[in-house]
Structures are given as structure tokens and as C-alpha cells.
């Protein structure tokens, strides 16, 4: 039980005590914790001692020395930090799925092709300006469209593995949250992960950047759509062990290094990224939708001043090795919601917006261009195809582009692939160090024709 639920539990107990004529009974409340060991290995002797104290081990991430624990002992943190093998113990954090407005295509209809009629990629032709922008109108696929020897990991809300445009490219599916079943790995807890997967390797009525790439699904949200932090880190390290070449993280949170709980968040995620780097796996991250300058040491609001009492980091995109991606529009400008910052952003990629006249001072919604968003797959039960915008839609295009480069140049290392994407990006401001786009806007066709 996370902090949010604990507060409600205490309130219920207090109300019961107020209206009951009998003496209040002390109730043990469950709380979840993250426990990080001093080395990148889990000390099993310490784990046994924690279990002897009554703790339940929910998940281990042995590659980085992390365990997720549940305990009813209100002094658990104090007791855990008495162990010399433990670096830090903090309350677990509850992270919502990315707040991306997803709109199913209400005009979509299932099409049974007539004899001799081809409806393949019709929705790509009609709506997917973003995929065309990255692939030079599909010319990149004449060089390489990918294959299943190169796999992109989707660490997200899950993917509808039965979607007709995705099913042939799904190579594996796993779920990472307490109580997850094999069946859970096959479903999307919402729509976000399926939309992301379609941007990577859809191959049907819509197309991804690499329509023949393999997709490995790592679902990290529970049935309420909330991310399990230890599950996210376990998914990263498992993907690296599985031989995945690039993973997409269209998720994250902000952390303040002088806040102990959030420092632990940053420490654990840094270990996971470093593990991926040692394994040669590229990590791509969406840098967020709060229109913030992540290059600054402090988040400020005009007229209000500093909002956080310490340096602000985006977890994951502030971590070295992660390719941090901002969102661009169909006009090659920064999306109005996208985070930015010279010291954070590595590349820009299409994530969409609502056209050049939104937002506007009058909040006139008639000026919105709804087709300036990104079109992709969503679970069949929710409409099959839909619109969304966000850095969540931008990042997977970079992950797919990295995989296409690897498919074309199998001898190329992850470091060289990252460098090539940077070197061949379209430099909007001509200096290759944009405050908004880093090295420039992604162009996989350029990378494949270097």
C-alpha cells in the first residue's frame, strides 16, 4: 500500500475511533518500501533477516541490488537502515500512467477488402504525417524496414498483442507487477502502450517507423493503470538480459536529489540504465509534457519563483546514456507542451500538437487541427486506432530508428548507432545544439543512407 492509500486508511481508523464507545484498537497498516543495497547485488542473508522481521518480498531486481518489500512495521525504514548491507530504504512511490489524452478514431470502420482491392496502409497514407516525416515518406523502408533479429522493448502499460497491425511483430510479452499473470502480459491496461508500439512497428492499415521490427512487451502497470517502480526497473534489466537492442520509456517522473525518497528513485533508475549500457542496450526516454526547461537547475514559475527546494531531474532522461526526446510538430517546431533544455534534450521527434493556432488567447477550440496529432494503434476493444500527442509519441520513433540502423548495420555498436542518429538528424537551427531539439529532428532515412 502506497502513501496515498495509507492516508485514507488512517482517516477511516480515526473516524471509527471518534464514533465508537469502545477503546480504539491498534491496527497494523501495510506499507510498501524500496530497499536498495550498497552493491548491485541483493544480499540474500539480509533478505532472510527482513523476512524474519515479518516483511514480505514483493519483487527482487537482482541485477541492480533492489528489492520491493511490504511490511506492517511502522519502524521498518529505521530497522532496515541498521543493516550495513543496505544503502537506503524508503516508502515506495505511486506513479500514474502518462497523462496523454487518447481519442479513438470514431470514423474508423473495419474494411473487408473486395476482390483485387488493397486496403493495406490506407490509414498510414491518410493520417500518419509523423511516420512519413521520420522515414522520408517511407523511402527508408526501401533500404531496411527491420526484421525480428533486432527487437525494440516497449516498457509501458502493456500492448494488445492480438491487434491485427501488431500481432505478427510481437516476439514476447511479460508483465512486471505483484500478482501479474501470463494473461496480463497480453493485454494493455489502458491504451498508451499499444499506441506506442504502433509507432514502432505497426504493419497493416497503419505503419510504424520499422514495420518489420520485433517488439518485446514489458507491461509494468497494474490493473488500476499505475506503474510499479520496481517493475519498471526489472523490465529494463530483463530486456537487457533478453538481448533487446533498444527500449522505449514513454514514462518517468521528476526527482529532487535532496529529497531522500526521490533520491532513491534516481539512484535505482540510474543503476538500471547503467546495467543496460553495460549490456549494449539503448534506452530512449520521453522528456515530459510540462513545457519546462530541464536545462535549468531549478523549476520556476514566472511570478511565483522556485517550485522545488533542490536541483530537478527528469527520471529517466536526465540520466547519462538515455536518449532524451522532445516533441515536434508537423511544422518542425517544438510542441507547445514539450519539455526542452540544452543540457537535457538529445533529439526531437514528431509527437504532434493541435496545429499552429492552439493554444490561443481566446481558447477557441474551432482553431484546433485535430489531425496534427499522431495516429496509431490502440487496443481493438477500444476502437483499434486513435489519436494522441505527447513526448510519449515522439520517443518510440527514436527507439525504432535506432533498431532500423542496427538492422542495416549489424556490426555497429550501440554507441555508434546513437552517434549516427545525432549526426544525421535534421538540424533545424543549423548549429546541432538546439535548446529545443538537441542535435536536431530525427531522420532515419538520413541515417540509413549515411
- On whether residue 97 sits in a domain, the answer given is no
Whether 446 has a pLDDT exceeding 60, the answer reads yes
Q: What is the residue whose three cell numbers read 536498495?
A: 36
Q: Which residue has the higher pLDDT, 384 or 108?
A: 384
pLDDT value of position 261:
84
pLDDT for 416 beyond 50: yes
User: Per residue in 282-308, pLDDT tens?
Assistant: 999 999 999 988 866 655 566 665 555
pLDDT value at 413 more than 90: yes
In a domain, 314, yes or no: yes
Integer angstrom CA distances of residue 138 from 164, 387, 409? 21, 20, 19
Residue 112 lies in a domain: no
User: Is 114 a domain residue?
Assistant: no
List the end-to-end C-alpha distance of the chain, in Å, as a whole number. Answer: 52
Q: Residue 107 has what pLDDT? A: 83
Asked whether residue 10 is assigned to any structural domain, the reply reads yes
Higher model confidence: residue 382 or residue 95?
382
**Mean pLDDT in residue range 108-125:** 69
Q: Are residues 193 and 64 in the same domain?
A: no
What CA–CA distance (Å, rounded) separates 345 from 284? 11
Residue with cell 554507441: 415
Average pLDDT over residues 217-235: 94
> Does a cis peptide bond (omega within 30 degrees of 0) precede residue 359?
yes
What residue numbers bound the domain in which 81 lies?
3-92
Residue 10, pLDDT > 50, answer: no
3-state SS class at 12: helix
Least confident of 200-204, 356-360, 399-403, 427-431: 427-431
pLDDT band at 120 (very low <50, low <70, confident <90, very high): confident
Question: In this structure, is residue 113 part of a structural domain?
Answer: no
> Are 148 and 80 contained in the same domain?
no
Rounded to an integer, what distance in angstroms lies between the CA atom of residue 51 and that of residue 70? 10
Q: Which pTM value belongs to this model? A: 0.90
CA-nearest of 271, 161, 262, 260 to 216 is 161
Q: Please report the pLDDT score of residue 5 as a whole number.
A: 32
Q: Is beta strand 305-306 parallel, antiparallel or unpaired with respect to 374-377?
A: unpaired
Confidence of residue 271 (pLDDT cuts 50, 70, 90): very high
Burial class for 240, CB neighbours closer than 10 Å (0-12, 13-18, 19+):
buried
Average pLDDT, the chain: 88
Instruction: Please count the other Cβ atoms lying within 10 Å of the Cβ belonging to residue 232.
Output: 26
Residues 16 and 160 in one domain: no
Please tell me the total count of domains within the chain: 2
**204 with 169: CB under 8 angstroms?**
no
User: What pLDDT, on the 0 to 100 scale, is given for residue 14?
Assistant: 28
Query: 130 — phi, psi (to 5°)?
Result: -70, -45
How many other CB atoms sit within 10 Å of the CB of residue 99? 9
Residue 185: per-residue pLDDT: 97
Angle at 80 between CA 77 and CA 83, to 5 degrees: 145
Residue 46: pLDDT band with limits 50, 70, 90 = very high
The predicted pLDDT at position 109 comes to 67
Which of 57, 92, 127 is the last residue in one of the domains?
92
Q: Taking each helix axis as running N to C, give the angle between helix 192-201 and helix 391-408, from 0 to 180 degrees, rounded to the nearest 10.
A: 30
Same domain, 292 and 393: yes
pLDDT at 11 (0 to 100)? 28
Q: What single string gives the DSSP state of each residue in 3-43?
A: HHHHHHHHHHHHHHHHH-SSPP------EEEEEEESSSS--
Is the pLDDT reported for residue 124 higher than 60? yes
Same domain, 78 and 217: no
Q: Has residue 56 got a pLDDT over 90?
A: yes
CATH number at residue 13: 3.30.70.80
3-state secondary structure of 418: helix
Q: Indicate whether 69 and 185 sit together in one domain.
A: no
Pair (218, 325) in one structural domain: yes
Residues making up the chain, counted from first to last: 450
Amino acid at each position: 500500500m502506497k502513501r496515498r492509500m495509507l492516508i485514507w486508511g488512517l482517516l477511516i481508523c480515526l473516524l471509527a475511533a471518534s464514533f465508537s464507545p469502545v477503546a480504539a484498537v491498534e491496527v497494523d497498516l501495510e506499507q510498501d518500501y524500496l530497499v536498495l543495497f550498497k552493491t548491485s547485488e541483493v544480499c540474500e542473508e539480509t533478505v532472510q533477516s527482513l523476512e524474519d522481521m515479518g516483511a514480505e518480498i514483493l519483487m527482487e531486481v537482482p541485477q541492480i541490488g533492489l528489492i520491493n518489500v511490504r511490511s506492517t512495521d511502522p519502524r521498518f525504514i529505521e530497522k532496515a537502515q541498521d543493516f550495513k548491507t543496505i544503502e537506503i530504504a524508503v516508502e515506495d512511490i505511486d506513479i500514474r500512467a502518462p497523462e496523454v489524452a487518447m481519442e479513438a478514431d470514431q470514423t474508423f470502420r473495419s474494411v473487408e477488402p473486395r476482390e483485387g482491392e488493397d486496403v493495406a496502409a490506407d490509414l498510414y497514407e491518410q493520417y500518419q504525417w509523423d511516420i512519413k516525416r521520420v522515414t522520408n515518406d517511407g523511402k527508408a523502408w526501401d533500404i531496411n524496414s527491420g526484421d525480428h533479429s533486432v527487437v525494440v522493448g516497449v516498457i509501458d502499460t502493456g500492448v494488445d498483442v492480438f491487434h491485427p497491425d501488431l500481432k505478427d511483430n510481437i516476439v514476447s510479452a511479460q508483465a512486471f507487477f505483484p500478482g501479474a499473470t501470463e494473461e496480463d502480459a497480453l493485454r494493455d491496461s489502458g491504451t498508451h502502450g499499444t499506441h506506442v508500439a504502433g509507432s514502432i512497428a505497426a504493419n497493416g492499415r497503419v505503419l510504424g517507423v520499422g514495420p518489420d521490427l520485433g517488439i518485446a512487451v514489458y507491461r509494468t502497470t497494474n490493473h488500476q493503470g499505475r506503474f510499479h517502480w520496481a517493475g519498471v526497473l526489472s523490465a529494463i534489466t530483463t530486456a537487457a538480459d533478453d538481448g533487446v537492442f533498444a527500449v522505449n520509456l514513454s514514462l518517468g517522473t521528476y526527482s529532487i536529489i535532496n529529497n531522500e525518497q526521490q533520491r532513491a528513485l534516481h539512484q535505482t533508475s540510474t543503476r538500471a540504465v547503467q546495467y543496460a549500457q553495460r549490456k549494449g542496450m539503448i534506452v530512449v526516454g520521453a522528456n515530459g509534457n510540462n513545457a519546462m526547461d530541464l536545462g535549468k537547475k531549478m523549476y520556476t514559475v514566472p511570478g511565483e519563483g522556485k517550485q522545488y527546494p533542490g536541483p530537478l531531474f527528469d527520471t529517466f532522461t536526465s540520466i547519462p546514456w538515455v536518449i532524451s526526446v522532445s516533441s515536434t510538430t508537423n511544422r518542425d517546431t517544438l510542441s507547445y507542451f514539450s519539455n526542452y533544455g540544452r543540457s537535457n534534450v538529445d533529439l526531437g521527434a514528431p509527437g504532434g500538437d493541435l496545429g499552429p493556432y492552439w493554444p490561443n488567447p481566446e481558447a477557441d477550440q474551432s482553431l484546433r487541427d485535430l489531425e496534427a496529432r499522431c495516429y496509431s494503434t490502440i487496443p481493438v476493444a477500444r476502437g483499434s486506432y486513435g489519436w494522441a500527442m505527447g513526448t510519449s509519441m515522439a520517443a518510440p520513433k527514436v527507439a525504432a530508428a535506432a533498431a532500423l540502423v542496427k538492422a542495416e548495420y549489424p556490426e555497429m555498436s550501440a554507441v555508434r548507432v546513437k552517434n549516427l542518429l545525432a549526426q544525421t538528424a535534421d538540424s533545424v537551427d543549423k548549429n546541432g545544439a538546439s535548446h529545443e531539439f538537441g542535435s536536431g529532428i530525427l531522420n532515419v532515412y538520413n541515417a540509413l543512407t549515411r
